[in-house]
Amino acid sequence: MRQSTRVYQTLREEILDWRLAPGTVLTEVDIAERLAASRTPIREALARLVREGLVSSLPGRGLMVAEVSVDGVAQLFQMREALETYAARLAARGGDRRTFEDLHVRLREARDGMARRPEPADGFAGYYALIQEFDEAIDAASGNPYLRAALHDLRGHLVRLRRLARRSPARMLRAAGEHVDICAAIRDGDEDRAVRAVAAHLHNSLDNTLAALVEEVAGAALLGVAPAPRG
């Protein structure tokens, strides 16, 4: 693996799981010492993260982990709706029915398990892994490499937001049901139903994420500290 790729993957993972929190200043010296890397690969890795929107360049402050804001979240979901509804339409049109039948069974089992045990021992890690597999199946079924690349970048931001959004058992159960509906529509080859199901899911997710962000900022203001990510 190229050194720049290793540095990029390490920093990206640290940003997505909040080990590098929003607003953290990133310096080449610190990264070089911590990751045992030279300057050129570090610059290449940081440039990739800037292009993805996970790192920001600010005059006089250098590079920092991108902040999470209400406007930014709203804009992200606008892009998600445009891209993900189209990907779902293409998947419903040309996706492998057996793939989505298998995913539908597993998503339904996950939903039913969540209904029996609202707060799983793994903290929803298994559920998120299944959703990632579902997303990747939709992306692959779209047959459009440019769409897949755009969705890859957007979903990096989504992983960050999952650490912020409230993990309400009731909301998680509703989201699980929404994923079942999306998968069923794609499996059945119903393009319009798939688009409606994705749009409904994203609208609900946006409402939940914005409420969590407002609560996070308000709570931090009362305490007089910078907002901290939820674990």
Indicate the pLDDT class of residue 217, thresholds 50, 70 and 90: low
Residue 166 has what pLDDT? 55
| 48 pLDDT higher than 90 | yes
Residue 218 has what pLDDT? 57
| 227 pLDDT higher than 50 | no
Question: If we measure between CA atoms, which residue out of 231, 127, 224, 225 comes closest to residue 173?
Answer: 127
**Percent of the chain scoring above 90 in pLDDT:** 65
Domain definitions of the chain by residue range = 3-65, 70-223
pTM above 0.85, yes or no: no
CATH dotted code for 3-65: 1.10.10.10
| 226 pLDDT higher than 90 | no
pLDDT digits (tens, 9 = 90+) for 29-45: 999 999 999 999 999 99
Bridge partners, 58 (sequence order): 62
Across the chain, mean pLDDT equals: 88
| 81 pLDDT higher than 90 | yes
Report the amino acid identity of residue 134.
Answer: F
Indicate the pLDDT class of residue 216, thresholds 50, 70 and 90: low
Residue 167 has what pLDDT? 63
Q: Phi first, then psi: what are they for 83, rounded to 5°?
A: -80, -45
- In this prediction, residues 74-81 reach a mean pLDDT of 94
Quote the Cα angle for 124-129-134, to 5°. Answer: 125
pLDDT digits (tens, 9 = 90+) for 112-166: 999 998 777 777 888 989 999 999 999 999 999 999 999 988 888 888 887 666 5
Residue 165 has what pLDDT? 62
CATH dotted code for 70-223: 1.20.120.530
Question: To which residue do tokens 């459009």 refer?
Answer: 144
Number of other residues whose CB lies within 10 A of the CB of residue 71: 7
Alpha helix locations (H) across the chain?
3-16, 28-35, 39-52, 70-94, 97-116, 125-142, 145-164, 169-187, 191-223
Query: What tokens appear for 85 in the block?
Result: 């509804």
Could you tell me if 191 and 89 are in contact, meaning their C-beta atoms sit under 8 angstroms apart?
Answer: yes
- In this prediction, residues 165-194 reach a mean pLDDT of 91
* Range from 70-79, 163-172, 177-186 carrying the lowest mean pLDDT: 163-172
Residue 224 has what pLDDT? 44
| 26 pLDDT higher than 50 | yes
Q: What gap in Å lies between CA 172 and CA 179, rounded to an integer?
A: 11
Q: Phi first, then psi: what are they for 34, rounded to 5°?
A: -75, -35
